Structure 1
Amino acid sequence: MSTENLLEQARALLIRTMTFYRDDPRTSTWLRGRVERLDQPLRIAVSGRVKAGKSTLINALVGEELAPTDAEERTQVNTFYQYGPEPKILVHTPHGAVQNVPVSTLDAGTIRDLQHWRPDEVVRLVIEAPSPGLQAISLIETPGLASSAVQETGRSALAQVLSEADAVLYLTRHPHQTDLQFLQSVHELQIARSAPINTIVAFSRADEVGSGGPEALQSAERIAERYRNDPTLRAFAQHVIPVVGLLGQAAATMTDAELTALTGLAQLSEADLDALLLSADRFANSTGPESIPPATRQHLVARFGHFGVERALTLIRAGSGDAKQLRSALLEESGLNALQEAVHQQFVERQQALRARSALLAVDMVLRANPRPGVHQLRGEFERLVANAHEWEELRLLSALDSGQVRFTRPLQAEAKRLLGAFGTDPRNRLGRDENALAVDLAEEATAALSRWREQAVNPLHDRTHREAVRTVVRSCERLVAQRPS
């Protein structure tokens, strides 16, 4: 069964379930919305605790400052950011009405004011923007986990919004028990437990780890490594990635004026620059140097953070002087590149598997919430699809290989990841061949790979975990052999 076939079968089961409940307008309408969603851009919910940096990271991922950022938690309603040919703001009320707020440009102040509305007045905001970063995905910003909005509407309402997403990007400064309990709560359903493939955890303020400073990111990476190997977190999260969201946003949207100011600061003597960078307050409010006034420095530290300013100046002095070089280096330093790569590989590249998961999750929710005579056939087909969803097994194993939970020898490790689709799900990518490879060569390589991994299946040195991993790779090879790519 290919990923495409899994999605087709999940769609077909979702439609049959909608037909089965056609005499229940509320249920059938809800299911129809889930069917329509399968052809829309992938939905990624950006969630987390209060002031985890959700808005900042959304702007960094999109490459534009769309989501308002404030010193205090302001988001009270779920806000959807999606692609549209023209700027548009839609307000959805609890009674089902949709109001169009006339705008010519997307002003952060307008969005901020609407986000302050109470959850019982506004169910969601939909922000449409002609941003290239939103063509493949839509982003859902949720209120903070401990915010007044969540306290009023309850976690079940937040969990309901997350169930509308195909994937979750969960932000935290440091995983607390509250985070783990919440993530467990949204993985309670059978389908979520069977396919824990849709969550990435980001340490969104990695520059604040410990005492901050140049060593903060290294400390954050060590903490992330520890959590990658934590069995509780690993049960529902595929990646744990440190990221400096503020720096990522600033790098992605850096202006010429900011580059000029940073370049001017980098020309100061080393002693003067070191003195200026002793603290964020000193950098922003010191009377000198006259060439870069306090207002400009205050702007820079607000945009880049103290850590970001320090890294930018270090990079400029080391030779990354033009805008392209500096932006690229800062994106790498911020961890945003690693996060975007994980989002692309885990979510975008595997979006059909995630869409199938969303479809089956909807079926599971309805069959549990509204059981009636005759559902046993739908339930049986649901169980069969879940049991045979090899794509989900591939994603789970890739996560285990990345985290170090499963380790083969270096050549086998690299081949396993490739065959599982880590570098692309096309047969040529899986088999390590270029686009000009002939079908006969692909068939020979697929057969050879299957033979190699069948030998590993009877290797007595493998423990149970590695034997199960080998079986997953063998099945991927068998599907490549059966596919006969042209």
Structure 2
Amino acid sequence: MTGPLSHRIAELCDEIVTQVGPHGADQVRHIGERLGEPLRVAIAGRLKAGKSTLVNALIGRRVAPTAVGECTRVVTRFRYGTADRVDVVGRDGSRRSLPLDDDGMIPGRLGVPASSVAYVDVALTTDRLRDLTVVDTPGLASADQQVSERAHPVVGVAAAPFDDGIDADSTSEIAAAEAVVYVFTQAVRADDANALAAFRASTARLASSPINAVGVLGKIDTLVAGPDDPWPVAVPLAAGQARLLQRTVGDVVPLAALIAETGEAGRLTTTDVTALRTLAALPGAQLRLLLASADLFRTRAAPVEQARRERLLRLLDLYGVGFALAQLAADPRLSTGDLIRRLVQASGMPRLRHTLDQAVRWRSDAIKAGWALAALERLAGRSRDRRDRAVLRDAVERLLRDPAYHRLRLLDVAHRVTTGAVPMPDEQVQELTRLAVSDDPRWILRMPGAAAPQLREAAVQAAHRWRAYAHAGGGPAQSRAAQVAHRGFHLLAQQTQADGSQPPTVARHTGGETTERVQP
């Protein structure tokens, strides 16, 4: 659904499309059409990091191949459709339709050389894709690995850090994403950080900052031996990664992606749970020996056939199996649905969904509008036609003079300060970011129970602080950012006076915890 900010820019595109030349008109028309589409989120990470498993968990269907093959060498776009459909889009613009395989997945072979494929376009009838398009990307290469130079002309920056053979059309499809999820395993190496910095530079402007980028510490069940609980290790490790990548991502969320995929995609059957229930009834010593390793779980004598135990490992790995057995041992009457819900909770998926809601969905209108505004500005800068440049720049300036669009200036400034391009003290960075991504004065000002007069006074005081910082806070870049923040808090004070009061804070339940948050 198009929000008010992006709707106005779409109207602006309709107004100016007849005022520019044919090439400019095509670009403006494309920008306007994109505003009516769901937000695009690119999933990035190294080969075998678990990107496709995460995609399946987000979509709620196991449709993306998780083994390295032809499909993992090209970009795959998952979007909502009225019927399931797979189209291989060629670099020449051609489309070749393929059926899903017998397991409901994208076929392992595309039928054409990967080098001739721009991207794979997958339409699915899942409601989870109605307001979000997910782009599964090829694996990132190491910083010291040679990468395709063909990306440079498309994205206008150093070649994006994909493995050899990833063509410019695929890179261009990724660059169109408005938000990014980075997937890591265990620890971030120096070349990971370098590769992600290059990936960030190749994506849309507003997607390349901690405001709209989230990290995922995947495969946390591999951090410990056997069925042991990985969370005591995963939580501090993710926090350390978040500190290391604070200029790249807003947060790093731990996730047992395989368990999340199995639970969200409904892959655990009643027969599987019956087998787990049988194993959970074994004597403690026998069960501990069975869970000592994956090999022992497969091969030791047990009252469940070996093929079924192999399947359970493929679905849950040893940690998930051990967790499920513990739940069933404690409550033998636990239903299949309740067990699946507990597995999803244990995977960390609720926290990831909440984080994505905060980082992407709640501010999707502003993200899309910011992307479109940046695209119009780039189009004006690249245009060789003087009249086109004048029309585009005048349109952008008229838009930004509207107080409602000051949010876009705030987003741009917040992007600059969160990435470190404009250094500021952490307290100012956090306050400016809150102002940029929300229109709820209670959340921005950290005054959840305040009445309208208190909120207005606090907003006025914040405006005064930022005006003082603009005059004495640093260099010209800090001064310009502070002036934008000053006007933002001035407008917030006017809003609280006009509204009189704001909607009450609502409770949101995430990962077993209740957090207070108002949707921007």
* TM-score class, shorter: 0.7 to 0.9
Q: CA deviation at 1:340?
A: 0.9
Cα distance per residue 1:6-25 (max 9 Å; x no partner):
4245435655775565332x
Change (3 A) 1:54 1:316: same
> What does residue 140 of structure 2 align with?
145
> What does residue 262 of structure 1 align with?
276
> What does residue 218 of structure 1 align with?
232
For the residue of structure 1 that corresponds to 2:96, the secondary structure is strand
Partner Cα separation in structure 1 for residue 392 and residue 12 of structure 2: 7
Partner Cα separation in structure 1 for residue 285 and residue 70 of structure 2: 38
Instruction: Choose 250-259 or 275-284, whichever is displaced more.
Output: 250-259
Alignment check: 8 A CA contact 1:79 1:126 kept: yes
Cα distance per residue 1:110-158 (max 9 Å; x no partner):
6233458533322121111211222221211111123999444458655
For the residue of structure 2 that corresponds to 1:229, the secondary structure is helix
Structure 1: stretches of 5+ with no match in the other structure: 435-441
> What does residue 505 of structure 2 align with?
none
- The residue type equivalent to 2:82 in the other structure is P
Partner Cα separation in structure 1 for residue 106 and residue 445 of structure 2: 47
Alignment check: 8 A CA contact 1:45 1:165 kept: yes
Change (3 A) 1:114 1:259: same
Paired positions, count:
455
For the residue of structure 2 that corresponds to 1:389, the secondary structure is helix
- The residue type equivalent to 2:456 in the other structure is L
Alignment check: 8 A CA contact 1:47 1:142 kept: yes
Alignment check: 8 A CA contact 2:89 2:120 kept: yes
Q: Alignment partner for residue 454 of structure 2, among 445, 448, 458?
A: 448
Change (3 A) 1:278 1:285: same
Structure 2: stretches of 5+ with no match in the other structure: 149-161, 420-424, 475-480, 502-520
For the residue of structure 1 that corresponds to 2:106, the secondary structure is helix
Q: Alignment partner for residue 123 of structure 1, among 104, 114, 118?
A: 118
Cα distance per residue 1:256-280 (max 9 Å; x no partner):
1221121111111111111001011
Q: CA deviation at 1:83?
A: 1.4
Pair 1:318 & 2:333 matched: no
Q: CA deviation at 1:216?
A: 2.7
Alignment check: 8 A CA contact 1:263 1:313 kept: yes
Aligned residue runs from structure 1 range 86-97, under 5 A: 86-97=83-94
- Using structure 1 for the length normalisation, give the TM-score: 0.78
How many percent of aligned residue pairs carry the same amino acid? 25
Partner Cα separation in structure 2 for residue 125 and residue 224 of structure 1: 32
Partner Cα separation in structure 2 for residue 50 and residue 71 of structure 1: 8
Q: CA deviation at 1:351?
A: 1.0
> What does residue 242 of structure 1 align with?
254
Cα distance per residue 1:277-318 (max 9 Å; x no partner):
1011111222x11x2111111100111111111122122223
Partner Cα separation in structure 2 for residue 211 and residue 322 of structure 1: 28
Alignment check: 8 A CA contact 1:243 1:334 kept: yes
Q: Alignment partner for residue 47 of structure 1, among 28, 44, 48?
A: 44
Q: CA deviation at 1:328?
A: 2.0
Partner Cα separation in structure 1 for residue 124 and residue 116 of structure 2: 24
Change (3 A) 1:307 1:74: farther
Change (3 A) 1:153 1:209: same
Aligned residue runs from structure 1 range 3-402, under 5 A: 4=3, 6-11=5-10, 14=13, 22-24=21-23, 28-70=25-67, 74-101=71-98, 103=99, 107-108=102-103, 111-115=106-110, 117-146=112-141, 150-154=162-166, 158-173=170-185, 174-188=187-201, 192=205, 196=209, 197-209=211-223, 214-230=228-244, 233-252=245-264, 253=266, 254-286=268-300, 288-289=301-302, 291-319=303-331, 321-374=334-387, 375=389, 378-379=392-393, 382=396, 385=400, 389=408, 392=411
Partner Cα separation in structure 2 for residue 158 and residue 277 of structure 1: 43
Alignment check: 8 A CA contact 1:202 1:242 kept: yes
Partner Cα separation in structure 1 for residue 363 and residue 206 of structure 2: 18
Alignment check: 8 A CA contact 2:229 2:319 kept: no
Change (3 A) 1:109 1:87: closer
Change (3 A) 1:450 1:18: same
- The residue type equivalent to 1:392 in the other structure is L
Change (3 A) 1:170 1:191: closer
Change (3 A) 1:367 1:182: farther
Instruction: Choose 311-320 or 132-141, whichever is displaced more.
Output: 311-320
CA RMSD of aligned residues (A): 4.3
Cα distance per residue 1:216-254 (max 9 Å; x no partner):
332222122123223xx2223222111111010112222
For the residue of structure 1 that corresponds to 2:205, the secondary structure is helix
